[in-house]
Structure 1
Amino acid sequence: MPTANLQIPTADGSADAFAAFPEHGGQHPGVLLYMDAIGLRPVLKEMARELAGHGYYVLVPNLFYRYGPAPMVELPEFIGQENRVELFGQLMPMVDALTPELALRDAEAYLAFLTSRPEVSAGPVGVVGYCMGGGLAMRTAAAHPELVAAVAGFHPGGLVTDAPDSPHRLAPKLTAEVHLGLAEHDLTPEGIAELGQALDAAGVDHSCEIYPGTLHGFTMADTAAFNPDGTQRHWDRLLPLLARTLGHG
């Protein structure tokens, strides 16, 4: 599987990124993959390779590039209860500093870079996000409705908040088809209802489901939250979504 380590020019510098794409050459639909709060690391690169194996050019930027190249902190090989609190104490200032304004400025650069790659075919792209990346995927699709045809968020964070620009309030700007795969306690029943009502009222083609028996972070094989059944279900939802919307497969 061909891969590349890249630098994406942004309004605030240069973001390091990882890309994976099919080995048989040619052009392929583009997918922007947003990392979780733990950051760009081997497990996300492996997920990008898996997705690329199905015929996509997958770009995974380091969302915390303002703090330096990934990894910004020393990451353990396995993240469990014994090291999670200390790790997130280091990570959360970077998460909190990535405001919606900065994230959308970066998203414009990421999409411009992705669609300019010679390996990426003309046409719409998909945006996939994990954890904090789920909310960013929704924001990106709402800001670029002419380009983003598919949004998928898995164990997403920050989808329904009291903020005027909460991702669920951006539903009227969406043209993409949306799938959200929630862990059992990612959102309250009230939050799920509010999210569904917003998407329904905007006429967004969407699905939102709770994956049984899962914890937040269930797709991440380097964490104690990893759930093989939930991860397989995530592939079972993601791949058909991309095939339908990006005219592939």
Structure 2
Amino acid sequence: MPTIKDTITTPDGTCAVTLATPEGHGPWPGVVMYPDAGGARATFDDMAAKLAGYGFAVLVPDVYYRDPGWKPFEMATVFGDAGERNRLFAMMRKVTPDVMAADAAAFFDYLAARPEVTDAKFGTTGYCMGGRTSLVVAGRVPDRVAAAMSFHGGGLASDDPGSPHLLADKIQAAVYVGGAENDSSFTAEQAETLDKALTAAGVEHIIETYAAAHGFAVPDNAPYDEAADEQHWEAMESFFGSRLG
């Protein structure tokens, strides 16, 4: 799929992005794909190209652009290395709900101005930390999001005041959540809390538990699961296809 590298000016600086589009002239519906805690990297360029093949213009942002020149993480070992783990968590803490919303507005403006993209509401999807971001953005920038997806996202219905489930009454998008089995960052109880919040708010939603571990859909994650990954691609093609059009 055609892929370009570009930058977007945000309130906090300049964010590097990858934009993948289908073959042809378009325009196509736009989707922002939020990376996991490891940040934007080659794996997500490949994933964006695959989603573009389903008929979408897919933007992957460097959510850590506030740390210019940051060194990529080795996802197979990062959580076992105290120094790298601390560096990762320090960068993650900077990506607050306020930051997510401000960045998303800039990303959507960029997509809307691209000739390859339909100027309408957008889709969001994300993994791990990015799965939480996807739902936060749906609640914080609700007039711009038509469909929001989250895969092995953590903190979706927690005690944190920034938890996405507390934004349920603001969400206008259809929501899909694909959780992992035995995931302490999104337990069965938290799934029930999220379900109740979305139901009470009248939000169209699907919450599924995949028979795989946290990280199942990202190929360079140690718990990657090929069967669960394929299931997640089928879900994205169907969910975005029916709601972004």
| 1:85 aligned partner | 80
Find the aligned partners of 1:127 and 1:52 in 2 and give their Cα distance: 13
| 1:196 aligned partner | 195
| 1:241 aligned partner | 239
CA distance 1:98–1:54, change in 2 (3 Å): same
Find the aligned partners of 1:24 and 1:189 in 2 and give their Cα distance: 43
Find the aligned partners of 1:89 and 1:164 in 2 and give their Cα distance: 23
The 5 Å alignment of 1:120-139 reads: 120-139=117-136
Which 5+ residue runs of structure 1 have no aligned equivalent?
Answer: none
| 1:168 aligned partner | 165
Matched, 1:222 2:220: yes
How many residue pairs align between the two structures?
241
Q: Deviation per CA, 1:87-146, whole angstroms, max 9, x where unpaired?
A: 333211000121111221111111111211111012221000111111111111112222
SS at match of 1:136: helix
SS at match of 2:142: coil
CA contact (8 A) 2:113 2:119 kept: no
**Per-residue deviation, 1:221:** 0.9
Which 5+ residue runs of structure 2 have no aligned equivalent?
Answer: none
Find the aligned partners of 1:142 and 1:100 in 2 and give their Cα distance: 10
| 1:20 aligned partner | 20
| 1:205 aligned partner | 204
| 2:230 aligned partner | 232
Q: Deviation per CA, 1:139-190, whole angstroms, max 9, x where unpaired?
A: 1111222221101000001111213331001011111111100011232222
CA distance 1:137–1:74, change in 2 (3 Å): closer
SS at match of 1:65: coil
| 1:44 aligned partner | 44
Find the aligned partners of 1:180 and 1:90 in 2 and give their Cα distance: 28
Find the aligned partners of 1:152 and 1:107 in 2 and give their Cα distance: 15
Identity %: 39
**Per-residue deviation, 1:83:** 4.7
CA contact (8 A) 1:32 1:114 kept: no
Find the aligned partners of 2:138 and 2:78 in 1 and give their Cα distance: 34
Find the aligned partners of 1:3 and 1:235 in 2 and give their Cα distance: 19
Find the aligned partners of 1:105 and 1:147 in 2 and give their Cα distance: 12
What TM-score do you get using the length of structure 2 for normalisation?
Answer: 0.94
Find the aligned partners of 2:198 and 2:46 in 1 and give their Cα distance: 32
CA contact (8 A) 2:179 2:208 kept: yes
Find the aligned partners of 2:20 and 2:116 in 1 and give their Cα distance: 10
Which residue identity is paired with 1:112? D
SS at match of 2:32: strand
